Structure 1
Amino acid sequence: MLMIERVLGSRLEPAFHERIHRLEHSGGVDVVTVSTVDMPRRRLRLVSARGEDLAIALPRDQKLFDGAVLLLDEDRAIVVRAEVERWLSFQPRSIAEGVELGYHAGNLHWRVRFAGERLLVALEGPIEGYYARIDALPGVASIPRMVVTGEMAA
């Protein structure tokens, strides 16, 4: 297990960019994908794309972010990649549907965003659980919905 106790910086910083670029060409860059739910955490265990077991314990003044460099030496680098966030997008057909959907989303403590007249619910677990909750609510079960990724949810 590799212990990570600090973020070295961003892969975009001039001090790291050239070295990481060189390591990419030789296959020396490993990536650890972090979910949006885990990104704010300071202590967590993860496994990188190449199977490296990581124990991360960051000080209070640091946090993970997309492109964070966790390890950099002559032969390899480990860089954080933020998982693409998925959203369940609802398009209420009336104000009444929208109010009822908003009420239930709040009652269920779902993390939401608004995009025009759409309500977006962050998917932080299996989608089947979200569908089961919505389908059990007669007033909102028939509201049109679809899954979108972070870029499409804007």
Structure 2
Amino acid sequence: MSEPADLSTEARVLLVSTLVGSRLDHDLGHRLHHMEHDGTVETVRLETRDMTRRRLRVVTDRGTACLIALPRSEQLFDGAILLLEPGRAIVVRALEQAWLRLRPASLPDALQLGYAAGNLHWKVRFDAGDVEVALEAPRQAYLDRVRDLISEGRVAVVGAVD
């Protein structure tokens, strides 16, 4: 006769079947900011290549075991919120920062892109006239925010930066 399975470990695993949202969302980001000051935010650090996985086991920086099982309609990203409850949050962070490179067509376009990036609180850096945006949400979310500048030919998507 076999020994009964030890369910105590499995009972402490947090199942994540959907994402709460992005840390860049104004309201969610505001809540996380205050929680970070209180020391109640846990972090899951993932390799960039693991962001495309829908099912994986991870452990937060504070030892919370999580089983992530997302539907096909959702994907992990840097800044994804896995859990947000009173007194506790779990956020995904990429080990390597991914960057989106945007090239303004002119100085006025650069000013408009910079103004938009500032208002959206994007983390940016500059390289040879290009604006590199730190991807802390899905890439498409950033492109959607500057869609008009791109469609008008005022900003070109140069690509990703390693």
Instruction: Using structure 2 for the length normalisation, give the TM-score.
Output: 0.52
1:71 paired residue number: 83
2:52 paired residue number: 40
2:62 paired residue number: 50
**Mapping for residues 15-30 of structure 1, pairs under 5 Å:** 15-30=27-42
1:12 paired residue number: 24
Cα displacement string for residues 51-103 of structure 1 (whole angstroms, at most 9, x for unaligned residues): 10000000100000000000001101100001117xxxxxxxxxxxxxxxxxx
Instruction: Using structure 1 for the length normalisation, give the TM-score.
Output: 0.54
Cα displacement string for residues 17-62 of structure 1 (whole angstroms, at most 9, x for unaligned residues): 1110110011000000011221100000001100100000001000
- In structure 2, C-alpha distance between the alignment counterparts of 1:73 and 1:19, rounded to whole Å: 10
Report the CA distance between 1:15 and its aligned residue.
2.2
- In structure 1, C-alpha distance between the alignment counterparts of 2:65 and 2:74, rounded to whole Å: 21
Sequence identity (%): 49
Unaligned runs of 5+ in 2: 1-12, 98-160
Unaligned runs of 5+ in 1: 86-152
SS at match of 1:39: helix
Higher fraction of helix: 2
State the AA in 1 paired with 2:23: R
- In structure 2, C-alpha distance between the alignment counterparts of 1:60 and 1:17, rounded to whole Å: 25
Report the CA distance between 1:14 and its aligned residue.
1.2
1:82 paired residue number: 94
Report the CA distance between 1:11 and its aligned residue.
0.5
SS at match of 1:33: strand
Count, aligned residues = 88
State the AA in 1 paired with 2:59: V
- In structure 2, C-alpha distance between the alignment counterparts of 1:41 and 1:28, rounded to whole Å: 26
SS at match of 2:51: coil
- In structure 2, C-alpha distance between the alignment counterparts of 1:7 and 1:82, rounded to whole Å: 16
- In structure 1, C-alpha distance between the alignment counterparts of 2:42 and 2:49, rounded to whole Å: 21
